[in-house]
């Protein structure tokens, strides 16, 4: 299910893991363009709660999303300790506010379990699979659903 990304390296999938409200998530490294320190955003009118606003990334206007709100975990209080992951999703660039970035994992695709299905659970659609990292469980995010999820959240 992942080989469309062309990201297998020696059979492993490289992911960046980060925490949002105490939970560990990870994201395919090929989608990540850079990681920046938090800088204040310009608020957008009529935006959904998980849309923090837009930032200037070398002349481009990039929307920044609060993943915590997206997962229904409350708000991330933006501060200098937080970071913004700049990710490319299907041609569009967006920023994801997370608490902190931890490490780069190499995951064997076999070790990725399908997420358990909950009925009518909007946010699990963003979760592509779960991986054990030591004692922790990391949730692999599929950002391609972020735009659709935006519509869900608005409804």
Partner 1 sequence: MGESDDIRAMFFEECNDLMEALFEGLKLLEDNTPEPDTVNAVFRAVHSIKGGAGAFKLDDLVSFAHKFETVLDELRADRLSRDDALVQTMLRAADHLAHLVEVSQFDGEINSERGEALLEELDFYVAGEEDEEEVAFEPMTLNFGGIDIEAPSKPTVSVRFQPFEKLYFNGHDPLLLIDALGSQGELSIEIDLDALPALDEYASETPTLTFLLTFTADDPETVVDEVFEFVDGICRLEVVRNDGDDGGDGGSSLEADLSPEPPEQDEPAQANPTEIEQGSKVAAEPSTKAKNIVRNDAVAVQPTLRVELDKVDRLINTVGELIINQAMIAQRIDMLNLPGDGDLESDMADYKLLARELQEGVMSIRAQPVKSLFQRMARITREAGDATGKSVRFVTHGENTEVDKTVIERLADPLTHMIRNAVDHGLEDREGRLAAGKPETGQISLSASHKSGNVMIEVVDDGAGLNRDRILDIAINKGLVSRDSDLTDPEIDMLLFLPGFSTNDEVSELSGRGVGMDVVKTAVQALGGRISINSTPGNGTKFSIVLPLTLAVMDGIVISVAGETMIVPITAVVETLRPKESEVFRMGVDQDLLMIRGEYVPIVDVRKKLGLADSQDQQEQLVLVLVESVDHSRCALCVDAIHDQRQVVIKAVGGNYGEIPGVSAATILGNGRIALILDTDHLTKVETISPPLPSNSKQDVKVAHA
Beta-sheet strand order (sheet of 92-98): 32-37, 83-89, 92-98, 60-66, 51-57
Vertex 15: Cα angle to 149 and 133 (nearest 5): 100
Of 65, 88, 63, 87, the closest CA to residue 78 belongs to 65
Residue 27: phi, psi to the nearest 5? -140, 135
In the window 3-42, what residues touch partner 1 (CB under 8 A)?
A: 40-42
**Least distance in angstroms from the C-beta of 72 to partner 1:** 21
Sole residue written with tokens 């970071």: 83
In the window 87-146, what residues touch partner 1 (CB under 8 A)?
A: 92-94
Of 98, 36, 33, 92, the closest CA to residue 61 belongs to 92
User: Site for partner 1 (CB under 8 A): which residue of 61, 74, 121, 132?
Assistant: 61
Stretch that binds partner 1, among 12-20, 52-60, 109-117, 135-143 (CB under 8 A): 52-60
**Least distance in angstroms from the C-beta of 42 to partner 1:** 4
Closer by beta carbon to partner 1, 43 or else 106: 43
**Least distance in angstroms from the C-beta of 148 to partner 1:** 12
Residues that bind partner 1 (CB under 8 A): 40-47, 51, 54-56, 58-63, 92-94, 154
């Amino acid at each position: 299910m992942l080989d469309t990304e062309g990201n297998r390296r020696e059979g492993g999938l490289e992911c960046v893991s980060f925490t949002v409200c105490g939970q560990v998530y990870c994201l395919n490294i090929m989608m990540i363009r850079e990681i920046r320190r938090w800088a204040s955003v310009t608020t957008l009118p009529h935006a959904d709660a998980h849309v923090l606003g837009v930032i200037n990334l070398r002349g481009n206007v990039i929307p920044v999303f609060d993943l915590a709100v997206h997962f229904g975990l409350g708000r991330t209080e933006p501060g200098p300790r937080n970071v913004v992951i700049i990710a490319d999703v299907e041609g569009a660039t967006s920023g994801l506010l997370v608490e902190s970035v931890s490490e780069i994992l190499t995951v064997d695709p076999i070790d990725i379990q399908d997420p358990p299905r909950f009925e009518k659970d909007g946010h699990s659609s963003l979760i592509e699979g779960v991986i054990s990292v030591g004692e922790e469980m990391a949730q692999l995010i599929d950002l391609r659903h972020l735009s659709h999820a935006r519509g869900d959240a608005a409804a």
